[in-house]
Structure 1
Amino acid sequence: MEVSKSALASFEYDRILELLVPLCSCPATQERARALLPLAPETLPLHLEVMRELRDLIRFDGDIPFGEFPDLRPVLEVLHLPGVRLSLEEAQKVYRFLLMSQGIRHFLKERGVEKKYPRISSLYFRNIQDFSGFLRYAERILSQDGQVLDTASEKLWNIRRRKEEVQSRIVEVLHRILQDSRITRYLQEPLYTLRKGRYVLPVKAQFRNMLRGFVVDCSSSGSTLFIEPWAVAELANELEVLETLEEEEVSRILFAFTEKLRPLFSALRETFESLVELDLLRAKVKLGERWKGEIPEVGGETLRICEGRHPLLFERAVPFDLEVSADRSIVVVSGPNGGGKTVLIKALALLVTLTFSGIPAPLAQGSSIPLYDYLFVDIGDHQDLESSLSTFTSRMVLLRAALQKAGPRSLFLIDELGAGTDPHEGAALGIALLEYLKKRGTTCIATTHLPALREYALRGEGVLPASLAFDPDTLRPTYCLVVGSVEGSYGITIAERVGLPQEVIQGARQVLRKEEVAFNELLLSLSREREEMRKKLGELHERLAELGKREEEVQVLRKALEEERRRLTRTLKEEWEARLREREKEIARLVGELRRSRELDEEKYGELREILREERQWLESLKEERE
């Protein structure tokens, strides 16, 4: 979507980017965040699908473990130059980057990204290469804190062991010297220190000749000389040689490290680029979470904003709903001074631009934004002192260029339409401009104070009036967007509220034509009625919410009762089944006795048959009761 840099600055898009930058893990990502611009309408739908997947991944499977994300751009430049080796710091960056990238690769694979999040998988996960082989090599070369390990080569190990031995001998010599009371009395303190890489003793300047050695340094006051004893000098020279050998061996190891890494240049660059992009997407998700943002549907011809808020005001902002369709593509917003008209235009510009930049915007589900290819925003003072152009002339110059791009896929947001010149001419130009945009199928939302434009909003075909409400009782704006109505500017009323002399107020009312006074009084009366209706509607919503809450409580109670009924049923069933088993055992016992009773007298046999008949009848009744 095309939008000029001056327009972006006018609705403070740069402040959004300032919030985005700290959420990026890598300096390269931060640079891209600072330069982020709205996407083209052709690429936006896929980008938003990726954003939805990433939002769900973070929400349900956990945050991507970026941690420390080194900037590999200097490393890639070195790898691109044959024969040039990486510095130790650059090798450390590579090692930390590979640890991070493999951690992210494992994280995504473990969460089944290929099946659950196919777009993230195809665009990013598949480009994060497997460097496990090189990492095993690097782990033998570098420590976790990025130092070259002793085990990187046998020669380095031998050099460092020899260094330790020489350092130990130096310390032994120094300790012997410090234990000699004939020498310690010439020292500022009985200790040794390092100056310019040499082991020295702090000797009082007046006793310079009492200690045989070389003066390496002196204190700023000149009262202390730092002297390297002769007994230490030879060992120190040997240590210097060993340090030089160590540096040469480390350099050789780093060169070998670089040469082993160089064939992986393309894979490393591809992985770095993918992770930078993924880092930026993650930062967008995190920024959207700050204002509980949503990713709206894009496409179609209707601009639908549900519970939209200005992202920089968020919790202090009053949410608004607005729907602009193709058959009513022009919206004229009126309202009092300081009522929030400019904030509304900025909020609309930001909501659209955030969406086209892939950042979840502070609006509710159900919102949809057409795939605009051009956004024109006119806010603020455009006075050009260098070109001697007034604010009005500058606005006309901007409009002239913008009108050449106006079409069905354009969105025009204009603050204070018709201002800056004679009100009658300004209104005439404003109406003509809106008619021109309407004929070209352009969506336009404009604010105004001009009565003629308010009247046009009420009577114009294909024009939707809207207003920012004014509370006539408190004489203060409510910042609520009311679609389908107009609102006065209430300039005189507000002037009276802030304390201008009554003589001025009455004089102003006398200057106004009777028709204008009557119209303003009518608007004030309508505002009062609308405010009363809004309050009653609010009370109704509260009552409905309370009823809904009670209904939820009833549902919870009903659910609890149903659970208790089921529990009791299960208990009774278990008891019945236990009793049935006991009775069945009793019947089996009786049957056995009956079989044996053939040898008994006839009377005993008859009694047992009667008991068996009763038991079977009881058993059948129990089964029926259970069913």
Structure 2
Amino acid sequence: MKPLGRFTENALELRKILQIIGKHCRSELGTKTLYGILPAQDRKQLDLRQALLRNVLRYREIEGDFPWDSRVVPVTVLLEEAKSSALMSGEDLVHVRNLIALATEVRNEIRRVQERFVELEQIGRRIRDFSEELVLLGVLDEEGFLYDHATLQLKEIRNRIDSLKATIRKTGQALLNDPATSNLLQDRVLSLRNGRFVVLVRAENISSYPGIAIDRSSSGNSFYVEPYRLAALNNRLSAALEEERQEVFRILRRITLKLLERETAISEAESALGSLDLVCAEAEMVERGGWHLPEISPSPGFRFRGLVHPLLGEKAVPIDIACGDDFSVLVVTGPNTGGKTVALKTVGVAVILSWMGLPISASEGSVVGEIDSVHVDVGDEQSIEQNLSTFSAHVKNIVSILRETGPGSLVLLDELGSGTDPQEGAALGIALLEAFREKGALVLATTHHNSIKTYALTTPGVETASMEFDPVSLKPTFALLMGIPGKSNALLIAERLGMPPSVIERARASLRGEDVSAEELIGQLQEKRAVLETEARNLAEERARLTAARQSLESRISRFEAAKEERLKEADRKAGKIVREAQEAARELLRSLEKSKTVPAAHQAISVKGRELEKIRNEAEIREEKRLERRSVKAEGIRLQPGDLVQMVDSSVKGIVESISGEKVTLVAGSFRMEVPMNRLKKAGDELPKTRPEISVKTIRPVGIPGSIMIRGMTVDEALPEVERYLDQAYRAGYDQVAVIHGRGTGTLRKAVQELLKSLSYVREYRLGEHGEGGYGVTIVTFSR
């Protein structure tokens, strides 16, 4: 897509919409990248942007958030300013260190997961190795002050300074306590003034104190005096401090020059972090804001589902709108304040955001085609400086759009044909639509002119839509109705707003016959549509009730089958017990037979027990055969097609297969039609093998328990219950090792987690993450097995 013009950006309020996404950026790097983003130049670039966002969404779902440091700020401007002086302050150098340290951490993380998230390499390959620079910048503390060990010379100078200060303080303390002069002092405190140690002497005693006055107090009642005994020591201290200043200057310049050699790499790393910050903000819009990435079609056009304008928030009414498949021009009509202009702007915004590779405030399944450029004529562009009327400003803008459009262009025209004589305006509007069609452009236009509505209804390749108006409340609903023209309802709105009835009636009488007929025809169409929509809603509600009833019945059948299976198992258990008891009784009879001489009586008893056993065995075998039959059907499955004769397992019910949907079969049995799970059916007449199916058992890890838990940003009270619950689940799921991601921060959360780990009996050991595992921001937990 070509770059947008300033007028298009302003007319669509694009900056305000980008600010919505910008609120989710974590640093100025992200917002800077966002406000500098341009539409993708071609489909390849757009596909790369979308693929990166999808990868980041998957990463966040599996791994949590990316490493980040809230202290990072843009540093390219600091490097640019340092070119003239070749010197950066310690504070600015710390900013550079923070940025390249974060870039290094992000680079390492991307390398760790690059095989699973290949598109992250779009960011990772832009970050170079900064290990030397990080070592070089390691001589600075967080405030930008050089550590003593920065160089041997700096260490020696600072040691000398510390020694001199100690000597001066000792000597000064002796002066403060000297009885000969202490009574001349304002107070007994040794102060530092202009880099020299001094005492505070009362003004009336200044001529009596042995020293040199170097400053006066703000009250004027005393002087800062350098005692003669401290002068030489102060001179030596001043010389040492100057040496320190020169050495610090030399070190900072050396570091600055080294960083300027890597300016390009640092700038690229800053850009990569900005891209990451932005794409994470986009992910937030998808995860929490309900925005979605549209599909990209190779042909020009768009089809949006549930589209809303981002600036309207929750009060926005979603619309479904399309253009480009069967028609290239869409004319939107309807009442004033009914939402036509908003619909126009919403489409323009959605198309532009889509080609920027950003998510849009629409439902899943929305599609955007290859649109080459976007042109807008929206609102009152009257120019006082150019002495142009509203109509003239519109015409001038449209003439410019006509010159620039071609195949694949999207043109948005608000209030087509307005601002001049209605007949001439309508004729010009129709001619413009034809001109844009000839150029192969897509056009979305709003209008009140009946002539343009008629043109849209009667011209192939042109479609009409309208903003719905409630004739009862006399208010717009802001819903868009594709394929139906709309009434302007100007007289109804005027009447609702208090226009006298006499004026309304006179206006109705003044309307031409054809205008009245067109408006009445449109009104009838809308009434019929409302009736059809009511019927459709009723049918949908009835279908929902039937679906709920069917699901309830299926649930009851399932529960009945489970209860039946359990009762059969219980019967088998009881039968087994009876068999065992009968066998024991038989053995007891045999033992009695050996001792008894009443053989006939014993044989009779054995015969009775034998018949009982046989009956029990037969009943158990029948139940087992049925159970095996059911299991065999479930394990092996059957291939069915409409028209097959089938029988329900465990039932004599037979029927004909009417249709198959997944694992559900619609069965016609006599006058009944029912939906039955496929695993409860067998082909009628088929003999199923009665061999027991082989059953393999393996331990599986429960779905949904990840290998890590993210608690960064929680309080200790919030985090500990979550961590303990997660560790218990992970241990029972069979994990040997998991990670608790608590972030670096102040270390409070890390310490609390590790105290918890000490108390858990199933935790064998724990440690901080190593390089590539998250470092101090992660605790690795190993379970006892």
TM-score after normalising by structure 2: 0.68
Deviations 1:214-246 (A, max 9, x none): 444444453454444445444443333332222
Aligned residue in 1 for 2:294 = 296
Deviations 1:563-617 (A, max 9, x none): 8888x5999699789979x969x99xx89xx9xx9xx879899989979989997
Aligned residue in 2 for 1:493 = 492
Task: Report the CA distance shift for 1:493/1:619 in structure 2 as closer, same or farther (over 3 A).
Answer: closer
Asked if 2 retains the 8 angstrom alpha-carbon contact of 1:392 and 1:419, the reply is yes
Aligned residue in 2 for 1:149 = 147
Secondary structure, counterpart of 1:470 in structure 2: strand
Higher mean C-alpha displacement, 33-42 vs 255-264:
255-264
Shift of 1:315: 1.5
2: CA distance between counterparts of 1:571 and 1:161?
A: 89
1:220-619 aligned within 5 A:
220-258=218-256, 267-287=265-285, 291-299=289-297, 300-517=299-516, 519-521=518-520, 523-524=522-523, 526-527=525-526, 530-531=529-530, 534=533
2: CA distance between counterparts of 1:312 and 1:561?
A: 53
Asked if 1 retains the 8 angstrom alpha-carbon contact of 2:50 and 2:293, the reply is yes
Asked if 1 retains the 8 angstrom alpha-carbon contact of 2:33 and 2:271, the reply is no
Q: Which amino acid aligns with 1:55?
A: L
Shift of 1:118: 1.6
Q: Which amino acid aligns with 2:73?
A: P
Asked if 1 retains the 8 angstrom alpha-carbon contact of 2:450 and 2:518, the reply is no
Higher mean C-alpha displacement, 1-10 vs 409-418:
1-10
Aligned residue in 2 for 1:105 = 107
Higher mean C-alpha displacement, 530-539 vs 60-69:
530-539
- One of 72, 75, 87 as aligned partner of 1:72: 75
Asked if 2 retains the 8 angstrom alpha-carbon contact of 1:472 and 1:524, the reply is no
2: CA distance between counterparts of 1:200 and 1:548?
A: 94
Deviations 1:397-444 (A, max 9, x none): 222232234333111111000011110011111111212223333211
Shift of 1:321: 0.2
Shift of 1:133: 5.4
2: CA distance between counterparts of 1:212 and 1:77?
A: 53
Higher mean C-alpha displacement, 200-209 vs 315-324:
200-209
- One of 40, 43, 46 as aligned partner of 1:44: 46
Shift of 1:132: 3.9
Aligned residue in 2 for 1:166 = 164
Task: Report the CA distance shift for 1:622/1:283 in structure 2 as closer, same or farther (over 3 A).
Answer: same
Shift of 1:474: 1.1
Asked if 1 retains the 8 angstrom alpha-carbon contact of 2:76 and 2:266, the reply is no
Q: Which amino acid aligns with 1:329?
A: S
Asked if 2 retains the 8 angstrom alpha-carbon contact of 1:38 and 1:357, the reply is yes
1: CA distance between counterparts of 2:82 and 2:563?
A: 72
Which protein has the bigger helix share? 1
Aligned residue in 2 for 1:12 = 13
Stretches of structure 1 lacking an aligned partner (at least 5 in a row): none
Secondary structure, counterpart of 1:362 in structure 2: coil
Asked if 2 retains the 8 angstrom alpha-carbon contact of 1:92 and 1:147, the reply is no
Report the identity percentage.
31
2: CA distance between counterparts of 1:556 and 1:449?
A: 55
2: CA distance between counterparts of 1:481 and 1:304?
A: 13
1: CA distance between counterparts of 2:506 and 2:572?
A: 92
Aligned residue in 1 for 2:115 = 115
Q: Which amino acid aligns with 1:406?
A: T
Stretches of structure 2 lacking an aligned partner (at least 5 in a row): 628-785
Shift of 1:476: 0.9
Higher mean C-alpha displacement, 477-486 vs 150-159:
150-159
2: CA distance between counterparts of 1:542 and 1:560?
A: 27
Task: Report the CA distance shift for 1:552/1:363 in structure 2 as closer, same or farther (over 3 A).
Answer: farther
Higher mean C-alpha displacement, 397-406 vs 165-174:
165-174
Q: Which amino acid aligns with 1:64?
A: F
2: CA distance between counterparts of 1:453 and 1:144?
A: 69
Task: Report the CA distance shift for 1:153/1:616 in structure 2 as closer, same or farther (over 3 A).
Answer: farther
2: CA distance between counterparts of 1:438 and 1:102?
A: 53
Shift of 1:339: 0.6
Deviations 1:380-403 (A, max 9, x none): 122233333322222222222322
Asked if 2 retains the 8 angstrom alpha-carbon contact of 1:472 and 1:527, the reply is no
Higher mean C-alpha displacement, 24-33 vs 419-428:
24-33
Aligned residue in 2 for 1:35 = 36
2: CA distance between counterparts of 1:109 and 1:165?
A: 50
2: CA distance between counterparts of 1:434 and 1:450?
A: 14
2: CA distance between counterparts of 1:180 and 1:559?
A: 103
Asked if 2 retains the 8 angstrom alpha-carbon contact of 1:341 and 1:468, the reply is yes
Secondary structure, counterpart of 2:125 in structure 1: helix
Shift of 1:373: 0.6
Q: Which amino acid aligns with 2:418?
A: A
Task: Report the CA distance shift for 1:531/1:160 in structure 2 as closer, same or farther (over 3 A).
Answer: farther
Q: Which amino acid aligns with 2:76?
A: R
TM-score after normalising by structure 1: 0.83
2: CA distance between counterparts of 1:70 and 1:501?
A: 63
Shift of 1:473: 1.1
Q: Which amino acid aligns with 1:49?
A: A
1: CA distance between counterparts of 2:203 and 2:553?
A: 93
Task: Report the CA distance shift for 1:459/1:254 in structure 2 as closer, same or farther (over 3 A).
Answer: same
Deviations 1:242-290 (A, max 9, x none): 3222223333433554566566555444433333333333344445556
1: CA distance between counterparts of 2:341 and 2:606?
A: 98
2: CA distance between counterparts of 1:181 and 1:329?
A: 103
Task: Report the CA distance shift for 1:200/1:17 in structure 2 as closer, same or farther (over 3 A).
Answer: farther
Q: Which amino acid aligns with 1:97?
A: L
2: CA distance between counterparts of 1:420 and 1:511?
A: 21
Secondary structure, counterpart of 2:410 in structure 1: strand
Deviations 1:312-341 (A, max 9, x none): 113121000012234321111111111111
Task: Report the CA distance shift for 1:105/1:552 in structure 2 as closer, same or farther (over 3 A).
Answer: farther
Which protein has the bigger strand share? 2
Asked if 2 retains the 8 angstrom alpha-carbon contact of 1:291 and 1:311, the reply is no
Shift of 1:53: 2.0
2: CA distance between counterparts of 1:160 and 1:171?
A: 16
1: CA distance between counterparts of 2:133 and 2:606?
A: 91
